[in-house]
Amino acid sequence: MTKKKWLIGIGGLIAVIVVIFGVLKVVNGNAPKAETSKSLEDEYGIEYFEVPDVEQVYINGIVQPNQMEAFSKDTRISGEPTIKVNHGDVVEEGTVLYVYEDKEVTKELEELNNQLSRNYTKRENVLVKWQRAIDNYNNASAEEQQATGGTLDEQYQSEIDSVDEEIFFINKQLNDLSTKQHLSTTAKFKGRVSIPEVKEENTPILTLTSDGFYVSGKVNEKDLPKIAVDKPAEITVISNNIAVKGKISYIDDNPLEGDGEMQSQEGSGGSMSNYGVKLTLESTEGIKNGYHVQATINLEDKQVEIPTKAIKEDGDKKYVLVNDFGSVIRRELQLGEAVGENTIVVSGIESADRIIVTSKKAVKEGDILDEKASEEKSSPSGNEE
């Protein structure tokens, strides 16, 4: 073989190798990569119903009692009050809650009672003397009786009258002071009594809280024109997902003091003030003073229907399971009438909820369907709506 032919052969072999390498690279580049992570959601074989997206306003708030009064110690009165109720009692309006005893008045009453006792003794002694004088008069001779001049009764009656006058005056003083000895404080409304376990200098004697609650919330100036008094609301307790119906009862015309040091709102193009809003609750079952809630105001009057087969029962409660950013949560519902294979939901669900209708594998509240999504929601940088 000549040198030229050998070089041509070597060059052709190299070209073939290059082509083969290129083909393999393309093939490997287009081949599907091995899946390193797979959403657990796929393993459950879930069929979802997406709640239609409706324009809504969200109001975050805190549950507060309609009436509450804390009773502090009266520093003008010495001594401690005597509490007449127990912690947890539900008392009616007018019930005596606690009583102060004015020790100075008690001391005066004791002295007056001693004076009264002495005057009654004095009166008895005068009556004894008077009776003895009468007996002596009856046993005396006619001359001795005549010598008295008939002044016997007048003398002792005058003494009795003087003592009776003193007794009347003391009793009047006792009656006046007795109303000041014990100072009672009564309930101004029906409520539940709370007595602090640890007593400190500024700790109230007790607190009276009404059984009725309302939600104190706030709304920013962007959403303020969208809402109105009497607008229905769906109110959800953040800690336990209890949902109740309510409505807006009051909207403040003035911004909250110091609330947003004019807080910046993302995408608003500036800062916005917040305004106070009050909402009434149709039910307070499972709701306590201080619970944090979110009220949802639907701006469109649309009836939402969901598949009836997605609805589950727990006693007399109806609920659905929802995929909430990778975690399964429970939403309790208030339902309307059935419409074919669907049921109208009055309250309990939110716009764009992903309701779990069926699944091949059992799904329960608390299950994690997508660990990554769940972690992103719970992380401080997660963009939870």
Give dist(CA 135, CA 325) in Å, integer.
109
Tens digit of each residue's pLDDT (9 = 90 or more) over 153-198: 788 888 899 999 999 999 999 888 888 778 889 999 999 999 998 8
Torsions phi, psi for 341 (to 5 deg): -90, 5
Q: Residue 219 maps to which CATH number?
A: 2.40.30.170
CB atoms within 10 A of CB 365: 14
Instruction: Judge if 144 and 62 occupy the same domain.
Output: no
Does a structural domain hold residue 7?
Answer: no
Nearest CA-CA partner of 97 in 83, 110, 87: 83
Instruction: Judge if 238 and 226 occupy the same domain.
Output: yes
Instruction: Judge if 329 and 342 occupy the same domain.
Output: yes
Nearest CA-CA partner of 316 in 335, 339, 298: 335
What range does the domain containing 361 cover?
A: 38-54+302-385
Instruction: Judge if 288 and 306 occupy the same domain.
Output: no
Instruction: Judge if 344 and 292 occupy the same domain.
Output: no
Residue 312 has pLDDT above 50, yes or no: yes
Instruction: Judge if 278 and 229 occupy the same domain.
Output: yes
Instruction: Judge if 233 and 292 occupy the same domain.
Output: yes
Instruction: Judge if 176 and 271 occupy the same domain.
Output: no
Residue 47 has pLDDT above 70, yes or no: yes
Instruction: Judge if 84 and 176 occupy the same domain.
Output: yes
Give dist(CA 153, CA 261) in Å, integer.
91
Tens digit of each residue's pLDDT (9 = 90 or more) over 102-115: 888 888 889 999 99
| Residue-level pLDDT at 86 | 95
Give dist(CA 167, CA 74) in Å, integer.
35
Does a structural domain hold residue 13?
Answer: no
Q: Say whether pTM exceeds 0.75.
A: no
pLDDT band of residue 384 (cuts 50, 70, 90) is very low
Does a structural domain hold residue 322?
Answer: yes
Reading phi first (left if > 0) and then psi (alpha if -120 to 50, else beta), residue 106 is in: alpha
Does a structural domain hold residue 195?
Answer: no
Write down which residue in 186, 204, 233 finishes a domain. 186
| Residue-level pLDDT at 149 | 61
| Residue-level pLDDT at 341 | 93
Does a structural domain hold residue 111?
Answer: yes
Does a structural domain hold residue 243?
Answer: yes
Residue 24 has pLDDT above 50, yes or no: no
| Residue-level pLDDT at 298 | 85
Instruction: Judge if 73 and 180 occupy the same domain.
Output: yes
Torsions phi, psi for 356 (to 5 deg): -80, 115
Q: Residue 366 maps to which CATH number?
A: 2.40.420.20
Does a structural domain hold residue 287?
Answer: yes
Top-confidence residue, 39 or 300: 300
Write down which residue in 256, 286, 301 finishes a domain. 301
Q: How many domains does the chain have?
A: 3
Tracing tokens 């009165």 back to the chain, one arrives at: 77
Instruction: Judge if 175 and 219 occupy the same domain.
Output: no
Does a structural domain hold residue 4?
Answer: no
Instruction: Judge if 244 and 226 occupy the same domain.
Output: yes
